[in-house]
Structure 1
Amino acid sequence: MAAALATCDMATVIEGVRSARGWSQGELARAAGYSQSWVSRVVNGQQSLTVDQIQDVARRLGVPLHLLRLGGAPSEEGPAPRGPGRTKGVDLTRRRDFGRAVAAGALLTVGGRPEHAEETAVDESTAPALRTITSGQRRMDATSSARHLLPGAAAHVHLSEQMLMNARGTPFGTDLCAAASEASGFAAWLHTDQGSIDKARTHYRNAVFRARQSRTRLLDVYMLGSLAAFEIDEAGSPELGLALVREAEHLLGRSAHPTARAWLSCTGALAHAGVGDGEAAARAIRRAEQEVDRPGNTDPPWPWVFAFDHTKVAGFRARVGVRLHRPEEARKAFEEAHTQRPASAKQAALLQVELASVHLDSGEVEEAFRLAGDALSTGLRFESRRLVSRVRSFRRAYRGPDARCVDGLDRRLGALVRGPGTG
């Protein structure tokens, strides 16, 4: 490490951190939030890092950011010129400085508690306090724009990771890993609502990684299943989602709580429907219904809040019917699912778009576009890019003749592209 500091060999510094912590290169990649191939290129000296990447990797590896004297803001002399010897945002002549900073942080963290841990000490109350913050943010999500919640959620993720770093060498690490996992999972949810797919995926992966470090099997399963649902519904990768569901099912085991197994089976049903396997989707739904009927399906385990019941299964059955273009099955399931009000207006609007697709498949164009228009109004009110994107996808799927309801939705979507004051 001393030789790496002297020569500013960042590849050796990062490899030294990996070796000191006993990680494989894959574990290092998961901790850093990048692909294993990217980490391999860094370690082999084939990939240089920008300031943003250094800060991101350092935060994820537990290196105190206050040690990174990168000078990211423009200096008093003005912005540095572009040209040989410089990369975007990084003056290569200053690599020695941030080489020392990263390595110094690594040396502090791999050996135990950070040097400045006494300034932000952790105890048995720290993890519950962090979880309380996450719970409060989740409650506000039902009535607030994700855009307004994101800055606070991002700061909370940073705080959780800082507290986790300070907990090294204490008995509170596993609890703080769980708290950090929850914080990252919620940040991923908000980024999904804002259409930031790459950022959402990064936070979900970190949530899985921290859940695994917490040694909390149900939290690990929950975050894996949440990542699977994200890949299925938002990233358009049902095959990857199905693989994640299978990994979560293997981890969960056959003796787990019925709510956990029913939820995971329903998520798997969506993945099967996404790849067009109706029979496998139906089997997964039947398994979920059997789990719901089990006598022990009460008092759901953390992190589930409510027991999974037949109404929730019906909602998934309806979404499966939409994906398989079976409008009658979907319509009946939606009628059963609507006996229970969705938890938030945004969730209700997402279901409205799904139901609109059912009416479209049934030839009920006016009702379909009415539902889509209502969902668009909710999306605009909450500034939800995900909702607006779902309505746009619904519109693209319509290939029928023009109608007043179609023109009305087109005008509203067009105004979003042109901006205010151009209609």
Structure 2
Amino acid sequence: MPQREGTLPVDFWTRPAVAAALATCDMAAIVEAVRLARGWSQADLARTVGYSQSWVSRVVNGQQSLTLDQVREVCERLGIPIHLLRFAPASPVSGPSAMSRPPVADAAGRTKGAGPTRRRDFTKAVAFAALPLPNASAVGDVDGETVATLRAIIGGQRRLDASSPSRDLAKAALAHLELSSRTLFRARRTPLATGIAAAASEAAGFAAWLHADMGDVGSARLFYRRAVEHARQSDSELLPVYMLGSLALFEMDSDDPLLGLGLAHEAARWLGAGAHPTARAWLSCVRALGHAGLGDAVSAQRELASAEAEVESSANTGPPWPWVFPFDAAKVAGYRALAAVRLRRPHEARSAFSEAFARTSPAPKQRSLLMVELASAHADAGDVDEAFRLASEALRIGAVYRSEKVINRVRRFRRDYRGPQARCVSALDEQLMALVTGRLGT
């Protein structure tokens, strides 16, 4: 029995000849193209569609007209995405939704009153959708430009994140995630679905990032899981790894290094043999934080050394999507500093932070988080004044951007401090009290 799925090339529906047949509703050409692409004889094709070989021969030779029900049946059995034909639903649409259905038109584009299901000539029946198929791959209002548009929106939102409070962006981010998810639903079972799934994954990942910054841990976790799910529906090998690794970092930041490390190891198993050095270096750094959080200095150092070797590789040229910026020695130094803080190695942490800050300038919210980490290193080293100066500045930035994540990190830093009640300590206490009571200016 011939196989009806899994053998068509990925670009099959956008090939010029197939695209032209879709655009002109040439069912004979479409069926024949599927047959040839799968290496079937006409007998194989006949067995698959459930008709006689003579009937199939007449169809592919243009001698047999099809009813709409037959077209739907053939498309279903051959795996032809019926939406690419702008085909009508199998049963009549009633109620308010019927108002949005396009009028029926004949081959010349003239509007007709009769429903398409009463026509036996296929080329007239499918012409009810008079609009052309952009790039031969449109699905309703979803076409070849949709993925680029969705990703451009998320790119703009990410740029705004560098200078805007997360709460100001959250509603727009959620609306974009809803739009991306609905678009993905409309484009399912089409060649466009994988690209739109990638855009939906990015949207979910950004929503997770914002909710983590707002201190809504439960929603952030939910959105990260959606990001991973959509990433696995995409055609990208690296996006699922990136999103699962991001979830791993989130769990580590939520004080569960064991779970985070397990997720990071799972992400590493998803990497292909020839993965880009950036992906391998980043995952090594993520695993290093997990090991450091568990107090395993040897494993953390091993992972960081592996990351350094990857970023120095001659193959580490140009960041692969979804990484936007190069993952270089400065990035590894930043992770080395974070690992040293978790391992309570203050001098190593301060040295690594100096190297990282000398080579890069993070956005304010990210910089404030790093300042809290650096404050912890100074406190462990006995430099209380500098530790609380950094924590105070981080809290000020957190208040300006209304970042619960930054504010909570500063509060945790204060709770963990067990040293003398110096003047700088009292000043931070007053700053925290003013923030809670609404007296701290933003």
Same structural fold, with TM-score higher than 0.5 when normalized by the shorter chain: yes
Q: Is the 8 A contact 2:231 2:240 kept in 1?
A: yes
Q: Is the 8 A contact 1:121 1:166 kept in 2?
A: no
CA distance in 2, matches of 1:216, 1:182: 12
Mark the CA change 1:121 to 1:392 in structure 2 (over 3 Å): closer, same or farther.
same
Once the two structures are superposed, the pairs formed by residues 9-408 of structure 1 within 5 Å of their partners are 121-233=141-253, 235-408=254-427
Q: Is the 8 A contact 2:237 2:272 kept in 1?
A: no
Counterpart secondary structure, 2:421: coil
CA distances 1:324-369 after superposition (whole Å, capped 9, x unpaired):
0001111111111111233301111111111101110011111100
CA distance in 1, matches of 2:351, 2:236: 38
Q: Is the 8 A contact 1:112 1:169 kept in 2?
A: no
CA distance in 2, matches of 1:187, 1:413: 28
Identify the range of structure 1 (297-306 vs 151-160) with the bigger mean alpha-carbon deviation. 297-306
CA distances 1:138-195 after superposition (whole Å, capped 9, x unpaired):
0000000000000000000000011111112432111110010000000000001000
CA distance in 2, matches of 1:287, 1:134: 32
Counterpart secondary structure, 1:123: coil
Name the % identity.
55
CA distance in 2, matches of 1:354, 1:118: 58
TM-score (norm 1): 0.71
Larger radius of gyration: 2
Counterpart secondary structure, 1:121: coil
Counterpart secondary structure, 1:124: coil
CA distance in 2, matches of 1:300, 1:216: 14
Identify the range of structure 1 (164-173 vs 308-317) with the bigger mean alpha-carbon deviation. 164-173
Q: CA RMSD in A?
A: 1.9
Give 1:395's aligned amino acid.
R
CA distances 1:359-386 after superposition (whole Å, capped 9, x unpaired):
1001111110000000001000101000
Aligned residues: 311
Counterpart secondary structure, 1:339: helix
Give 1:376's aligned amino acid.
L
1:53 maps to which residue? none
Q: Is the 8 A contact 1:204 1:223 kept in 2?
A: yes
CA distance in 2, matches of 1:244, 1:169: 30
CA distance in 2, matches of 1:260, 1:313: 12
Question: Deviation of residue 410 (structure 1)?
Answer: 0.2
CA distance in 2, matches of 1:122, 1:324: 50
Question: Deviation of residue 118 (structure 1)?
Answer: 7.0
Q: Is the 8 A contact 1:112 1:168 kept in 2?
A: no
Question: Deviation of residue 255 (structure 1)?
Answer: 2.0
CA distance in 2, matches of 1:417, 1:332: 34
Gaps of 5+ in 1: 1-110
Q: Is the 8 A contact 2:388 2:424 kept in 1?
A: yes
CA distances 1:101-145 after superposition (whole Å, capped 9, x unpaired):
xxxxxxxxxx98696797962111111100000000000000000
